[in-house]
Amino acid sequence: MNHWEGISEFIAVAESQSFTRAAERLNLSVAQISRQIAALEKRLASKLFYRTTRKVSLSEEGQLYYRHCRLLQDGIEEAERALGSLKQTPQGLLRVTAPVTYGEQFILPLLNDFLCLHPKLDLQLDLNNKTLDLIDGGYDLAIRLGKLADSSLMARRLGSRRNYVCASPEYLANHGVPHTLGELHRHQCLLGNHPYWRFIEQGQERQWRLSGRLVCNSGPGLLDAARKGLGLVQLPDYYVGEDLASGALVSVLEAYQAAPEGIWALYPQNRHLSPKVSLLLDFLQQALPEAPDLGKS
């Protein structure tokens, strides 16, 4: 049973005291208005209107019913106004998760800028290197780096990053400069979350498995080790850019450098994307750069 059927017609007749004016107000025919009112009275087992040739007026039951229906109608209109206001002025809580170091250095400053632009928004940011479940965790958005696993989530590419294999000049002076991937097994390699590095060889992407003297899930920790001459490291541009520019690190194996990887925003697959999330996606996409080409050593 559709409890809303006939309500709009009932309110229009009650307020205009005329089936004809109610039909004009709702852009319906008088016959349609009459059928809806008759069906409503039958469903309620109550006479809602007194009808004469000159006037339509509410019965006692109709007056009671109108007061309640008017409150419902006002609530619907207020809900629609609130939704329109939300589209104009985003508000409420945004829950975002991002990798720790990248989130600290790049995402959090941008989110702070976004909050400055939209003072009615609140933010909860979870910096975590684990792949968190957005649905179970109630997150609006996740920032992910590199290749994406298959998932039911929606993804938007925000920017890109480029990985560099590099070492300190002192390390290369002591151990030599590798010119092929096969030479890597003779070098000290500093490894992160994965036991391999990504390369392009003969036009094909390769995952080159390595063993490392140091295994650490901290990008800054690996960068510090490379600066101190402990070995070769493969890190994204935002870690090593300044060191490559200053000469503190030297890029090697450029001929095998993999294509830039994506920086992604993932969000649940909804038919209607929340206006606040949509605005944040646009903001991040404009703010995050494509991977810089730091040149050859």
Same domain, 182 and 130: no
What is the model's pLDDT at position 218? 86
- Is the model's pTM score more than 0.85? no
What is the model's pLDDT at position 154? 86
Same domain, 239 and 268: no
Residues 94 and 276 sit within 8 Å (Cβ to Cβ): yes
296 inside domain: no
Which tokens go with 45?
């087992």
Same domain, 39 and 53: yes
Same domain, 109 and 52: no
What is the model's pLDDT at position 38? 93
Residue that finishes a domain, picked among 17, 47, 62: 62
Report the number of distinct structural domains present in the chain: 3
94 inside domain: yes
What is the model's pLDDT at position 297? 42
Same domain, 116 and 152: yes
Angle, CA of 102, 107 and 109, to the nearest 5°: 120
Same domain, 269 and 243: no
Q: What is the pLDDT of residues 125-140, one digit of tens each?
A: 999 888 888 877 888 8
What is the model's pLDDT at position 230? 95
Structural domain harbouring 175: 162-254
Same domain, 197 and 265: no
In this structure, what CATH number is given to the domain that contains residue 130? Answer: 3.40.190.10
Q: What is the mean pLDDT of each run of 10 residues along the chain (297 residues)?
A: 81 90 91 92 92 86 89 79 64 88 90 92 89 82 84 86 94 95 93 89 88 87 95 93 94 92 85 77 88 62
What is the model's pLDDT at position 88? 63
What is the model's pLDDT at position 296? 52
Same domain, 105 and 153: yes
> What is the residue-wise DSSP string for the chain?
--TTTTHHHHHHHHHHT-HHHHHHHHT--HHHHHHHHHHHHHHHTS--EEE-SS-EEE-HHHHHHHHHHHHHHHHHHHHHHHHHHHHHS--EEEEEEE-HHHIIIIIHHHHHHHHHH-TTEEEEEEE-SS---HHHHT-SEEEEESSPPP-SSEEEEEEEE-EEEEE-HHHHHHH----SGGGGGGS-EEE-SSSEEEEEETTEEEEEE---SEE-S-HHHHHHHHHTTS-EEEEEHHHHHHHHHHTSSEEE-GGGBPPPEEEEEEE---SS--HHHHHHHHHHHHHSPPPP-----
291 inside domain: no
In this structure, what CATH number is given to the domain that contains residue 192? Answer: 3.40.190.290
Same domain, 264 and 133: yes
